[in-house]
Structure 1
Amino acid sequence: MEGYVESAATGIISALNIAKLLQKEPMIALPPETMMGALVNYIINASTTNFQPMKSNFGIIPAFDKRFKNKHEKYLAYSNRALTILKDFITNNV
């Protein structure tokens, strides 16, 4: 990862997971429809022969099956889906 926000967020997630591992609790795995979940998924599944650092971008988030009129509508749909999924994740996992 390249950006400061992405690096700080993954560091926090890593620290939380180390604490959970030491306490023998299930670790946190954010949904891939969220930006942090997508970044972690990218790192876990990246090519070992040609790894490329990645900043946050909508290209690593699972795509929709439908087409959108424009980028604004598409990115708003990504954001709304992520918020809905993240609220459900927090309700059921925290």
Structure 2
Amino acid sequence: MAEAWGTLAGRVIVMRAWAVSFGIAIQLGTVGHAFALDGHRRITQYAQTHFAAHDGMPHSLANAIAQTGDGYLWTTSQEGLSRFDGASFTTYDH
């Protein structure tokens, strides 16, 4: 029993270390893609749209948002991954 517990505990530690390393790599990989607003424009010159579950998002709270080169907005939430094409959301749930 002790040997099986040691093997299981070792696997859990390795999996957690891998998950933390992967999360850090993702965060560091996205740092260079952040863009600042033009300092010469007023904030009122920018448009803002709020989307929620009633607009087609799988969950009203997004954990992360990214835009790909082809213009799609991707969001992640507790309910899965979503792609916004400018008109509607497509959800790829887990």
The two structures have a TM-score, normalised by structure 1, of 0.26
Q: Larger RCO: Structure 1 or Structure 2 (Cα < 8 Å, ≥ 6 residues apart)?
A: 1
Larger strand fraction of residues: 2
